[in-house]
Structure 1
């Protein structure tokens, strides 16, 4: 693997982001669960980032980028499977910026409906996230709007890393963090913050194992994506920033099947009445399914990163 010149955020960048976005985001709670809960033979702590504004961790990175740039009158534009678009809508409302979003045809109806209900200009463009990105880039060039990326911009990744900063303050003795990985903004940001002081395990859905495939190839590769968590974890290529961080600071990648994700999602509901979206249940699925087995001494934290899902799907 060759060294590249892709700039990546440091722990100092994450700390600066935390100062910048304070007052704009929630400090989400940590819940302790006893050994045996979910069928996992170890005590866990759950970081409930699904309680963040707009229902996911995404506002952290979007706020950080919007607050460090000169936003033109044309406003902000983004491509998203849904969560980053909802975050951008929230940020635009808070900061007074116009917002335009591009979502793929596979975006969940519940997320599109929420965007339109709040007055967002929503365009369904392309069969997948990559095609929606191209459409958003064309729109930004046409209108002069500030282009936001769902996971592959320095300010965005640093903002997402504030989840790890908060977790470290709430649980100073944490040994291992399990976090879902799609494009890698959240996993990369958390790994950038801890910088090997804490073990970071990225968990991917079998339908979109972008980081695992790239590690196997020794370089970033593009894959076909699908499966139950494709709306949130459906990037076809790991972000360049996350890839650089992962090579030195993400200790392990676990790939879990869709059935395990749905099982973990059901267990979150049955045990704690937490309605997580499928992608957010992936880290717990790694524990429930045995993809990751903690040592006896490990203090394990699970990031539950999103809750934009139809509760009726749990019935």
Structure 2
């Protein structure tokens, strides 16, 4: 299944006024940064969560349920709080404590179970069958993908006023964001997908002709820890000709440190992955190319921002 620009435009109309139009910062000549860490609940995920719930025929009386590495759960909890419905979130044991605390602060019922996202998802699916709650998948639902794509629409609009953009660089876990952005830009600009070397979900899928299971580890595992790329994401990025590049944990840590020290931007490791691709040479822009990187999340422990260590 492929999500289209029309789907993204309808999502933008549906969630308008409920999400923030986040800034597009010019970091240096030729480099723009879309600051989704300043979004409600600390990441772009609230866009897809709002679109999923608001697309339902009626407000779900049994509430909404989700499995998440942390950010999607935070988004669903925020949306549920804003709409006055119950949220039940399942997270894996790798989920950062700051995210678990944030979920509970938003009033969500949290269950921490399993080593990776796939384990938490299995538990959430069983619970959803018991309760009848609306399921908000972290990345493999058309409404979620279309909502995430509104980041791409905004980036195009904002970059037009700043001299345009040629390439948007996006971190990939399950692929909801990269699929949504690919649909939103619809061939107008190039999209480059960035994945940690230790979680190459899209990269391996492209090599093998379809989604496959991969190992999950490394500094960005809490947010980019899907063990398989979503089917919607795979189909959409293949149709859009998206290129995938890999970055090491050291490059992600260095980019996160740069965001804090040079721009005073708090980013989690996943939020720094797109910039890491530029800094380590995984993606090398052509002369004069204008690149926008999506700094996709800020749900991190502030005590680690100045650290030289690769703290998750």
TM-score range, shorter chain: over 0.9
Instruction: Name the structure 2 match of 1:146.
Output: 134
2:298 to 271, 284, 307: 307
Residues 152-231 of structure 1 mapped to structure 2, 5 A cutoff: 152-172=140-160, 173-231=164-222
Shift in Å at residue 299 of structure 1?
Answer: 1.0
Q: CA–CA distance in 2 between the matches of 1:271 and 1:255?
A: 24
1:125 aligns with 2:108: no
Instruction: Name the structure 2 match of 1:31.
Output: 25
1:14 aligns with 2:5: no
Shift in Å at residue 116 of structure 1?
Answer: 1.5
1:72 aligns with 2:63: no
Shift in Å at residue 286 of structure 1?
Answer: 0.4
Going from structure 1 to structure 2, the CA distance change for 1:250 and 1:58 (only over 3 Å counts) comes to farther
Q: CA–CA distance in 1 between the matches of 2:240 and 2:270?
A: 22
Q: Kindly indicate whether the alpha-carbon contact (under 8 Å) linking 2:20 and 2:40 is maintained by their aligned counterparts in 1.
A: yes
Which ranges in structure 1 are unaligned for 5 or more consecutive residues? 1-6, 36-42
Paired residue total: 302
Q: Kindly indicate whether the alpha-carbon contact (under 8 Å) linking 1:188 and 1:245 is maintained by their aligned counterparts in 2.
A: yes
Instruction: Name the structure 2 match of 1:38.
Output: none
Shift in Å at residue 124 of structure 1?
Answer: 0.7
Q: CA–CA distance in 1 between the matches of 2:191 and 2:226?
A: 20
Shift in Å at residue 250 of structure 1?
Answer: 4.1
1:58 aligns with 2:52: no
CA RMSD of aligned residues (A): 0.9
Which ranges in structure 2 are unaligned for 5 or more consecutive residues? 307-312
Q: Kindly indicate whether the alpha-carbon contact (under 8 Å) linking 2:81 and 2:106 is maintained by their aligned counterparts in 1.
A: no
SS at structure 2 position matched to 1:115:
helix
Shift in Å at residue 297 of structure 1?
Answer: 2.3
Deviations 1:167-187 (A, max 9, x none): 010012210000100000000
Q: Kindly indicate whether the alpha-carbon contact (under 8 Å) linking 2:201 and 2:214 is maintained by their aligned counterparts in 1.
A: yes
2:80 to 85, 92, 98: 92
Residues 217-256 of structure 1 mapped to structure 2, 5 A cutoff: 217-256=208-247
TM-score, normalised by the number of residues in structure 2 = 0.95
Q: CA–CA distance in 1 between the matches of 2:134 and 2:117?
A: 19
Shift in Å at residue 119 of structure 1?
Answer: 2.3
Runs of 4 or more, structure 1, over 3 Å off, are none
Q: CA–CA distance in 2 between the matches of 1:94 and 1:116?
A: 15
